[in-house]
Amino acid sequence: MRKLLAGAVVAAAMAATTTFGTASASTASTEAQVGIAGVGNQVCDYGEACLFAWPGFDGPTWDANGCGPHMLDGWMQNQTSSVRTHGNPITLWNWNDWDSQPDHWVILAEIGAGLNVVLGPWEDKADAITVWC
């Protein structure tokens, strides 16, 4: 729940840098790109990264429809089980607030262009992605 309440601050921090790893919640401005919600085993358009809630590239989906940083919608955070990249590599990020360290972005996975990947129990904790164009 803390993650959702801080979403605007985190999204702004994402806009302040091209890599989540150097952002912090205190470096906030106001913008981050958004994705498109959908349902089912759709075709991922060229240049998009499509995230699926279910492992078999099915179920509720969230598509990053442009380059750069994207904050996942709250319902998709910590729910991504499979990813389809079509045209561009991506980095999956988690806003680490589960340990005693100060909250910070953690890279969960880097996925190359043109791949279909089923995520493991660690990688499915994604809160945000970067689409590298």
Q: What's the whole-number mean pLDDT along residues 101-106?
A: 84
**CATH number belonging to the domain at 32-131, selected among 2.60.120.10, 2.60.20.10, 3.40.800.10, 2.60.40.1930:** 2.60.20.10
> Over pLDDT 70: what percentage of the chain?
65
**CA–CA dist 47, 42 (Å, integer):** 14
For the entire predicted model, the pTM comes to 0.70
CA angle centred on 126, ends 120 and 127, rounded to 5°: 170
| pLDDT number for residue 40 | 55
Q: Would you kindly state where each structural domain of the chain is located, as residue ranges?
A: 32-131
Nearest to 15, CA basis, from 34, 28, 2: 28
Q: Which of 92, 16, 19, 21 is nearest to 51 (CA)?
A: 92
User: Tens digits of per-residue pLDDT, 22-61?
Assistant: 443 333 333 444 566 665 556 678 888 899 998 888 888 8
